Each structure stands twice: as structure tokens, then as C-alpha cells.
Amino acid sequence: MRRLMVPLQVQPPRGTPRALRWVDPAGSTRSARVARVLDDWDYAGRWWEDEVLRHYLLLETEAGHTLEIYREGDAWCLSRVSD
Amino acid sequence: MVPLARQRLNAVLCAHSSFSFGAGVSGPTTLVRRAAELGYDAIALTDTINVTGGAELFAAAREHGIRALIGATLPVRIDDEVYSLVAIAASRSGYRTLNELITHAHARDERDVPWPVLLSHTADLIVLTGGRGGLPARLLAARRVNALEERMRELHGAFPERLFVQLFHDRLPWDARRARVLRRFAQSLALPTLAALEVRFARPEDYRLFDALVCARLGISVQEPHPDRPRNTAGAMAGPAEVAERLPFPEALQNATFVAETAAFDLLPERLVTPAARIPAGLTADQQLERRCFEALLARYDVSALPAARRKLEEELATVRALGLAEFFLVAAEVTDYCRSHGILAAGRGSAAASICCYLLGITAVDPVKHDLLFERFLHTGKATMPDVDIDISSARRDEVIAWVEHRFGAATEAMVCNKITYRLPLAIQDLGRALGLPMELRTRLSRSLGRDFRHLSPRRAREAAVAFDEVLGEAPAKEVLIDLLSAMEPSHPRHLAPHSGGVVLSREPLTHYAPLERSSGGIKIVQLDKDDAEALGLIKLDLLGLRMLAALERAREEVFRLEGTWLDLGELPDDARVWDLISAGATLGLFQVESPSQIHTSRVMRARTLRDLAHQIALIRPGPIQSGTVHPYLRRRQGLEPTSYWHPSLEAVLGKTYGVLLFQEDVLRIGVHFAGMSWIEADRFRKKVSSFRDVADIEPDRQRFIEGAQRHVGASAEEAEQVFEAVKSYQGFGFAESHAWAFAIHAYASGWLRVHYPAEYLAAIMTEEPGMWSPSTKRHEARTWGVPFVPLDVNRSGVHYRVEWARHEGKRVKAVRPPLCAVKGVSTDAARSVMLERLRHGSFTSVDDLYGRAPLDRDVLEALVRAGALDALAPRREALYRIGVLTGTAPSGERPLLAAPTPTPGLEPLGTEGHLVWDMHTTRFSTLELHPLDVIRDQLREWGAISLAQVGRRARGSRVRTAGLVVSRQRPPTAKGFAFYVIEDGPQRAQLIISPDLWSSHRTLVRDAAILVADATIVDTGYQLTLKAETLAMAEGPFAVRGYEFG
């Protein structure tokens, strides 16, 4: 999987994501519809440096791609995508 | 199929408390409280190879109305791999099986349970296969399915109907899939599954502390990854709905409920169980106790005292019979019988000394009839807790007694209870600071900087020590993180278990019926229960306490016998006016219990002339009487400076002996019964509550009951009753039982008697055994006022202990004290003995070469002996050191070189007196020279205008002086309202320096670090001990510091 770490818009913002939208490093706006959630987990981060807990989701899109996204507080991030 | 919503999980089955030591955060009570909040009906504690939290768990569960289960997480060894497995006791018998397994694990260096041992200890145990570290999870991950199937079949064979494949979900990647795979695997073997999340802390916010504690346990910093570290907050106790969401398997949830409902049993019994005493055939325990007591009654009491004594004995025996405790008394008597028959000084103390049975059995030396002591403090019908029998034993021979107890009662039924060592701020800073990556040097500086103000605090109160954190860590980001972690710790977070100082539990059946056994790091066998847990589980405990003063008395008696041929009966010493004169003068340094600065001061005011006076004096300077304002009225009334008065006329019968004030624990008990109309049971509870309550709100509910009781029982007015309640309420913290004070007064008098009649022998004894609070150096200078000289350490004359020998001193033949070779740091008893034996075999050593060739000593030991002056008679120290260096290159010590080492010693400058003093202090903590460390900087002190303490002693009270002294004691008791009391020393003179709270806070670092204090002060008192009130403080640099007594 390729590391991206770009901000992500998620619909709906709470609950299981159905639609995603982000701007890739080349500046193009991309979107995807979620077919299913493959897995989810939590990562507490470097708490001694004030990092907060992240909730990760591994998703399969309707186009057949695999995305790893996480929520940190109210913000979403696209962390990795399958090549 | 039952809908998932109805598969309500009702139990937490894998909870780790802080007793998992570095693998759990919350105490059992917190876990129970949280489980109840989340709606669970039951909780199982499954700490890692211990059940230490069990008693607390069951008590808390009772309080919160849920059921408790006890189990443990066991590391099980298969070949070279160790897997976690959870065992839960299904019954009392299962609990014993569990304890046997844990005991087995602790007996092995690896601290694990071999697979065959697990399979042979199966009775009434329910087994869960473990979470991420368990056998199924790990073997499936390694794709070793065949091996796993084989092991599971073996387990199932050993635990039919009681084996469950544990499903877990730690909110880590692929945990949901893992749970499904595990479930399918279990189904393939027809094994039941069980849903159990591992709980490591009560709430998600405890996660940071958990991670830091895990890092501390692993010895790594938070920057280092490790598979055992948590990665999220999944270790927090989850509610039933969340568990069902993470593990949506109805049968697994149902099985958890099933286990919780079938495994419950009560760990806390209804009655106490005594060990088996030796009883002649044909007699019951009660009959044997009566026989022994009545035989002794006739021997101990004359005709006039006999009726009262008989009456008291019959009353006590009736109580003992009603409580079924005869064997308890007989067992305690067996211990003191053994000590007596082997010449070991031993004496019962505590509330037991109020018992005529204990007196007649020879357990105590205090006659409770003569001294009118209150038996009910010790025992009364209705008392549900085990009475305390504390036996003080000569510390030098306590191990011998404990070995006999183990032999007598059997290895399986005897062990020391443990202390749960809980975190205090310095230790928590070390552990958590290391986890945060603070270097050791910084952690040590921070711990030291806490000083007397903060080091006693629990970590939770770290913020109160902000000034110390600022001083060392400044604005470092780690500072706030560290303080946050410390503040998150529970007040009594345990760090490890250690042997209790003397509590031995004795049981009628193997101790594994109650708890597992293990060996401490020092090799002592301990049971995983502290004294309160042991009592809660119905075990009998005897406190066999090593008392250094008894060892000193024993040693002094032997020295007297060696030199004078007189064998002293320390229990029958004559009443001697010179002893009382000594105590009244406050010349009590070195005496038992009355040598502290405040006791020295009290001695001069109290002017004790009887054992009763001495017992009162010993009890007076304690937190209870100090807090309740007893000290000054007592002393003033005793001196006739104010009349004795009582809060209510009915109290004259209770407080008549103590001038109308509260002195002893019994006074609170008697007031409860005779004034407030309580039963003995109620009064006993009330006394305990008064001595230990932390929040005023805890004691307030008793106020109204007390007042109404007093109005009803003795017709007291509300104001009078209120006044008495206030006085009783302030009797907080430790106070003496009267019986205990009497027991100690006997030892104190014996120490004074020996000090008066045989000062040299007594000095040698207290230098060897080191009872009390003063350093060897202070005692050495005190010896100058006793007229006892020291003779030098000498490899040709010194032995293993301080010994008295005849010597010429100032033209007279006197007894002098010779230090032993063992007084030198780094010289063991064995090394000293080897020198002594060689001396006995082949005569004195004639030179450094001769010693080197004959005594097989390590170079370090030889050099330490030289530095300490043990070879001064053979060669100057520097030359001797040089020669040892040369000789070590020629042959091993203990062998003469074939050719004498020819290297001549170059001319080395002699060490000089000051050099001798410094080397002496560094090697033996004192010097036989009469020179004091302050003498070394006397010129400098004169320059500053500081006069000696001897000169201060000649000035009038109220004078202002500038003086200086080596700090030899630092006290800042919590009862002193912020005042500190330091003792400074200058030769044989000492002064207590009173430091006000303002002066303390403006000189916090100085008073913490100063070895020598220079003070401008006002003289408050003169005499044997000077008292000065400090006004300004400065520090002087000296050649070394003395590590003196510290308190508060």
C-alpha cells in the first residue's frame, strides 16, 4: 500500500463511511464509494507527545481499491491506498 | 436461537488489577466499583501468578453487591515456549489447586508452570485458553494447527467440561477475524467458546499510565516498541454491550455468564482457625490452657493478690473458651517456651500484655493485675478479629526462632506474611521517569530534591511537590507528562511484595488452602497475603519481631559475664535510684525508647521514679497523645503546676491514672464503654475508627451517637459529652496500648540499669547491635561523657563484635571498647573470622607482609582494613597501602611468596590526624580518635564568630548565639505543624535546633543538603541537651557528612 496522509471528507461524518472525497498529491480531486469495511482498529499514538487516539478503518471501494483511513477527533485522513 | 440482545453478558472474567505488578493499573476495589457501574453481576480477578488482591476483591464485591471470583493468569511452559492461560477457581478446593499451581511457579527460576504440572493439578479449576498470548492464538498464528489440536485434546482430557476457548478482541488489526477463526477452530474440536476481554484498567483514561507501567516493568522507555506494550485503550473495562459488539457470538457470551454463576464461592470465612498446639493426650485445648495457667497462678501471686488474680483469670478463660482460642495462646506459649529454654531474650508486647493468661504462660513479663491493665483491649467476646500477640525477640537470634517455628509447625503450614510495598513519590519517579526516558542522574536528583517535605507523599499528590519538579526539570516537556502520570496513580498502588518484619502465619492445614507461597528475593518464604488479608481469611498471625535492643541487652549480659563472672537476670533487676537519676537528668542517649531529643526533653520534665512513670513517658510522645493535646496538661499536672480536672466526674475512674487526659488506646476504649455506654465491640470499632480516620466526615456520624450515649449512660450534658468527643476525636494516629508501654518500660529500665552499672559492656553492645536512632559516631562521642574510652581498631586484637577489654587510660586501668574488624565497610564476618582464626593458630601478625602471607583476604578487604587503621600498629596507613599493592603482584594473599618482594617502600608523607579522622569516618562511620569533624574546621568557624556548643552550654537561657554543628538527626514530624527539629553535634555536646516553618520554607534546599549548619539562635534550654531556636541558617563545608536519623 502507498502512504498518502491527506485530509479526507467522509460521508456521513460519523458512523460507517459510505462516500469519500480527497485531493491527491498531484492536486486532483478524487472520490470513492465504500463497498465494505474490511477491518477496524484503534491506535493510541505517542501519548507522551500529546498525540490522540486514532480510529482506523480498512475499506474496499466499489472500484475494487483498498483504502486505509483514520479519524482523529473530528478530522479524517486517508493514510494509505492500494497500488 | 436466543436474540443477541438477550444474551446479556453479566461478568467480567479476566480482570487484572495493580497486583499484576506492572501489568495492571486499578486496584481490586476500583475494578469492582467500575464493574458495578457498568451493570455487571460478577467479576473475576485473574492477576498474573498471584491472588494477592483476592481479599480486597471479595470485601469490595460484598460492599457493592456483586459476586467475586478468584483466578489467576498462569504462564504455562511447553518446551521452550511460554503461553498465558487463565484458571478460575470453581470452589474452595479449586482455589487450593490454583494456589498450588502458583506456588509451583514461584518455586521455579522461570516463574512458570510446566505443562505436565498443569495437567496434574486440575481439581475444580475452570480453564480459559488465554487471549493474544494464549496457546490457540499463538499456534494458529504460526499455522501449527496439528500441534494445537493435540494440546487442546490434552487440556480437554484434564479439564473436561471446564475448558473454554477464550475469544478476545483488543481493537487491533484483524482481531475480528481472529475471533471468528478461533471460534471455528473450537467448533471443529467441539469445545465451548467464552467471550472474555482482558481488562487492565478501569477506564480508558488510565491507558497512559498502563503503558508507562508496562515500560517500567520491561525496563524500556516509551520510545521503544515492544510486543507486550498496549497500542490502544482496549484494556479498559468495557460494558456488556461493547463486549457483545466486539465479540458477537451468543454462545460465547452465554458461557461467560455460565462460568460466573457456577464458580462463585466466598473466600472470606466466618470464623478464625487456630493452628494445632501440642496438647497432652486426654486433654482438650481448654483444659491444657487452664492447667498451665492455674499452675503458674499459685507460683506467681502471693496470698493477698491471689483472689483478684484468680477472678481475672477465670473471666479471661471464659472469654477464651467462648471464642475457641485456647490453642492460639498455647501456640504463642510454645514460642516463648522455646526462647526461654534456649537463652533467647523474648517478651510479648502490645495489647497481649494486658492478658493474665499471657503473663501466666510466660508470653509477657507484665503483671496485668498489679498494673490494672484492660484485657478487653486484647480480647472480648464478640471480637471478630484475631487478637494481636507480638513477641519481641533478640534480633540477633530471631532467625533461629523462625527456623524452629518452621520445623515445629511444618514447612507447609508456616510462612511470613508479606507487606504490599506501595509506591511513594521517590520510587514512582524512578520507575515512571525511566519509562519516560529521564536519565538516572536526573531521576536521582529529582528524588533527592523531594527532601523531607515531599518524599513521603503518595504519587497521586505529586503536584504538591511542584517546587522540586521545577528545581530539577525546569521547563522540560517531560515534567508535565511525569506529573500527570504520577497524579493518575491510585493512593496505594502496589509495586511488589516483601516479607513482613515479623508476622508469621501458622495454619492447621497447608497454607495453600489460603494463598500461594513464594520466596522473597532474600530467600524468605512468604505467603501472598498481608497481615490484614491473613486475618480476613481467618488465619492466625504471630508477630515475631526482631528487637535490636533485646539483642543489645543479651550481648551486654554476656560481656558482663565474660569480664565479671556475673550472670544478670534482666527480668529481676533491683530498683536503683541512680538509674532514675540518670533518666531524670535526660542523659538517656542510648537507652531504649527514651533517647530521642523530645524524649530527652520529656525525661527532664517528667523525672520518672517508677516503671509506671516510665511507661507513661514512653507512651506520651506519640502522635495520638500529641494530637489530642495530652502532653502539656499531663506534664503540668504531674509537676503540680495546674490541678487535675476531668471533663465529667464519671471520667475520674477512667483517667485518674493519667491526670485526666487521654494517654493510652485503652482510655478511648474505656470512655466508649463507661462514658458513652457502648458495648466492648462498639467501643473497639470506635477506637479503631478514631485512630485511623482520614476525613472528618468519616467520624461525624459517630458524634451524635456518642453524645446521646453519654447523656443516657452517665447523665452528661450535651456540652460535656461534646467536649469529650472532641478530645477523643483528636486522639488520631498511633498511640500506645498501656500494656505495650509497660512491656517497653521494662526494657527501657534494663537498658538504663546496664548503662549505669556496666557502661562499657552496654556501650559495646549498642555499638554492635545498633538499636535506636543514633549513628555510631554520635554514640562514640557520647561515650566520652560516659567515661568509656575506645581503643583502636587492630588487626591483632579486634574481632567480630565490639568487645570490652581492660586498658590504661589517663593513668588509670579502665574498661575500654575495641571496635571489630567487621565495623569496616566491606569486611564480612567470614573475613574477620579468618583473621581471628589465623591469629589464634599462629600468633599475632608482625608486619604487613606477615598478614598478607597468612590471611587469605581479597585486596579490597585488605585495603579497607588499612584505610580504617586496623594495621596502624604494623605500619603507617599510606605505607601499608603501598605495600599491599606491591604484594598483590607477587602471590595470592594467604600464601607467602617464594621470594620476599624486594621493592622498598618510598618515603610517604604521614597521613596526619585530620587524615586519620577522614579515613576512619569513610571506612567505619566513626573514629576511635576523640577528634570531632567540627574540630577540623574550628578555625573557620571562629572566623565566622561561631562558638562551640560547649560554650553555648555555659550561656544563659534567652541568650542569642552564633554556633555550628554537624547535623546528626533531622525530624519534621507531621504532628509538629511545620516545625522541624534538627540535632547538631559538636564533640560530645549536642543541641536540638528548632526550625520554624518560615525559616524552613526560605531555606528548603539548605536544610535538605547541609552537613554542617551554622545558626544564629536563641537558647531555649540548657542542660544535658541544649535546645536552640534558629533565627538564621547557613551551611559550612566539612570533610564529610553523617547519615543520621531522619523522620518525617
CB B712 within 8 A of CB B676: no
Residue A11 has pLDDT above 50, yes or no: yes
Output DSSP code: residue B675.
I
Q: Give B201's contacts in chain A (Cβ within 8 Å).
A: none
Q: Using CA of residue B247, residue B252, residue B257, residue B260, what is the dihedral sign?
A: negative
Measure CA A57 to chain center: 7
Give yes or no for a contact between B725 and B696, defined as CB atoms under 8 angstroms apart.
no
Q: Does B230 contact chain A (CB < 8 Å)?
A: yes
**CA angle in degrees (0–180, nearest 5) for B957-B961-B967:** 100
Interface mutation target, options A47, A53, A59, A80, chain B, most CBs of B under 10 Å? A47
Nearest-Cα residue of chain B relative to residue A51: B208
Element (H, E) at B155: helix B145-158
Residue B17's nearest CA partner among B67, B64, B63, B70 is: B70
Cα separations in angstroms, B1000 against B157, B491, B626, B1009, B1033: 70, 27, 22, 12, 10
List chain A residues with CB under 8 Å of B176.
Answer: 39-40
* Whether B188 contacts chain A with CB within 8 A: no
pLDDT recorded at residue B1: 38
Query: Distance between CA atoms of B319 and B382, rounded to whole angstroms?
Result: 9
> Are the Cβ atoms of B233 and A47 closer than 8 angstroms?
no
Task: Answer whether the bond into residue B114 is a cis peptide, omega within 30°.
Answer: no
The shortest C-alpha distance from A64 to chain B (Å) reads 20
Q: Structural domain boundaries of chain B?
A: 4-202+237-262, 421-497, 640-656+666-729, 791-924, 933-1047
Could you tell me how many CB contacts below 8 A there are between chain A and chain B?
A: 38
CB B481 within 8 A of CB B455: no
Q: Which residues in chain A are closer than 8 Å to B233, comparing Cβ atoms? A: 42, 44, 53
Q: Do B230 and A53 make contact, defined as CB atoms within 8 angstroms?
A: no
- Strand intervals (E) in B681-795: none
- Report the chain A residue with the minimal C-alpha distance to residue B234: A42
B553, B559 Cβ separation under 8 angstroms: no
Q: Which amino acid is at B263?
A: A
Residues B316-366: tens digit of each pLDDT? 999 889 888 899 899 999 999 999 999 899 998 877 778 899 999 999 988
CB contact A44 to B (< 8 Å) = yes
Angle value at C-alpha B861, between B859 and B863, nearest 5 degrees: 70
Instruction: Please write the tens of the pLDDT for every residue from B483-497.
Output: 999 999 998 999 999
Interstrand relation of B11-15 and A75-81 (parallel, antiparallel or unpaired): unpaired
A2 touches chain B (CB under 8 A): no
CB contact under 8 A, A44 and B222: no
Q: What is the pLDDT of chain A when averaged over all its residues? A: 93
* CB atoms near residue B189 (< 10 Å): 14
Exposure class string for B976-995: b at 16+ Cβ within 10 A, else e: eeebbbbbbbbbbbbbbbbb
B186 in Cβ contact with B11 (< 8 Å): no
Q: Is the Cβ of B229 closer than 8 Å to some Cβ of chain A?
A: no
The C-alpha cell 560554650 sits at: B951
Please report, for residues B313, B467, B675, B717, B884, the alpha-carbon distance to residue B679 in angstroms, rounded to integers and kept in the order given: 21, 50, 11, 21, 74
Mind telling me how many Å the CA of B25 is from chain A's nearest CA? 17
State which CATH number among 3.20.20.140, 3.40.710.10, 3.10.450.50, 3.40.50.880 fits the domain covering B4-202+237-262: 3.20.20.140
Predicted pLDDT of residue B386 = 66
Closest residue of A to B212, CA-based? Answer: A48
At residue B951, the pLDDT reads 95
Contact B244, B257 (CB under 8 A): no
Nearest by CB to residue A39, choosing from B174, B230, B478, is B174
What is the distance of C-alpha A22 from the center of its chain?
A: 10
Quote the minimal CA–CA distance from A38 to chain B in Å.
9
Strands A2-11 and B389-394: unpaired
Task: Round to whole Å and give the CA distance between B979 and B612.
Answer: 30
- The verdict on a CB contact (< 8 Å) between B211 and A44 is yes
> From start to end of B609-768, where are the E strands?
none
Is the Cβ pair A47, B207 closer than 8 Å?
yes
B860: phi > 0 → left, psi -120 to 50 → alpha, else beta; which?
alpha
HEC sequence for B601-654: HHHHHHCCCCHHHHHHHHHHCCHHHHHCCCHHHHHHHHCCCCCCCCCCHHHHHH
Interface test with A, best of B171, B175, B200, B207 (most A CBs within 10 A): B171
> Is B176 in the A-facing interface, judged by CB distances under 8 Å?
yes
DSSP annotation of B90 reads S
Work out the minimum CA distance from B170 to partner chain A, whole angstroms.
8
Q: Does A43 touch chain B (CB under 8 A)?
A: yes
Tell me which residues of chain B have a pLDDT lower than 50.
Answer: 1-6
Helix, coil or strand: residue B52: coil
Asked if the C-beta of B483 comes within 8 angstroms of chain A's C-beta atoms, the answer is no
Does the domain spanning B933-1047 belong to CATH 1.10.1520.10?
A: no
* Inter-chain touch A47–B232, beta carbons under 8 Å: no
Cell of B123: 481439581
DSSP B897-956: -SS---PPPP-----HHHHHHHHHHHHHSS-SSS--HHHHTHHHHHHHTPBPHHHHTTSP
- Name the one residue in this structure whose C-alpha cell is 603501598: B882
Q: What one-letter code names the amino acid at B101? A: L
Q: How far off is chain B from A61, nearest CA to CA, in Å?
A: 19
pLDDT at A83: 67
Quote the CA–CA distance of B56 and B45 in Å, as a whole number.
11
The H or E element that residue A33 is part of is strand A29-43
How close A29 comes to chain B (CA, Å)?
29
Flag if B222 and A39 touch (Cβ within 8 Å).
Answer: no
Torsion of CA B401, B402, B404, B405, to 10 degrees: 120
Q: Could you tell me whether strands B125-128 and B163-167 are parallel, antiparallel, or unpaired per DSSP bridges?
A: parallel
Verify whether the Cβ–Cβ distance A47 to B208 is below 8 Å.
Answer: yes
Q: Please, what sign has the CA dihedral across residues B46, B49, B55, B56?
A: negative
Q: How far apart are CA B429 and CA B1025, in angstroms?
A: 39
Q: Do residues B523 and B554 touch, judged by C-beta distance below 8 A?
A: no
Mind telling me how many Å the CA of B12 is from chain A's nearest CA?
22
Report the interhelical angle of B696-714 vs B680-692 (nearest 10°): 150
CB contact under 8 A, B222 and A56: no
**Min Cα–Cα distance to chain A from B141, Å:** 18
Mutate to test the interface with A, among B177, B207, B211, B232 (most CBs of A within 10 A): B232
In this structure, the strands spanning A2-11 and B540-547 are unpaired
Task: Determine whether the interchain pair B174/A46 forms a contact, defined as Cβ–Cβ distance below 8 Å.
Answer: no
Q: pTM for the full model?
A: 0.84
**Cross-chain CB nearest to A53 (options B176, B233, B436):** B233
> Whats the size of chain A, residue-wise?
83
- Phi and psi (nearest 5°) for B340? -60, -45
Q: Which residues of B touch A56 (CB under 8 A)?
A: 173
Return the ∠ at Cα B856 (arms to B853 and B861), rounded to 5°.
105
DSSP code per residue over B259-294: HHHHS----S-SS--PPPPP--TT--HHHHHHHHHH
Please tell me the total number of residues recorded for chain B in this structure.
1048
Q: What is the CA radius of gyration of chain A?
A: 12
Three-class secondary structure of residue B13 per DSSP: strand
Residues of A in contact with B478 (CB under 8 A): 48
* Spatial strand order in the sheet of B389-394: B346-349, B389-394, B540-547, B494-506, B414-422, B525-527, B517-519
Residues 423-452 of B with CB under 8 A from A: 436
State whether residue A25 sits within 8 Å of chain B by CB.
no
Give how far B71 is from chain A: nearest CA, Å. Answer: 29
Query: For residue A1, what pLDDT band results from cuts at 50, 70 and 90?
Result: confident
CA pair distance B378, B142, nearest whole angstrom: 62
Closest residue by Cα to residue B597 from B224, B288, B995, B23: B995
Tell me whether residues B173 and A46 touch, CB distance under 8 A. Answer: no
The residue of chain B with its CA nearest to that of A50 is B481
Phi/psi at B535 (nearest 5 deg)? -65, -40
Strand, helix or coil at B43? strand
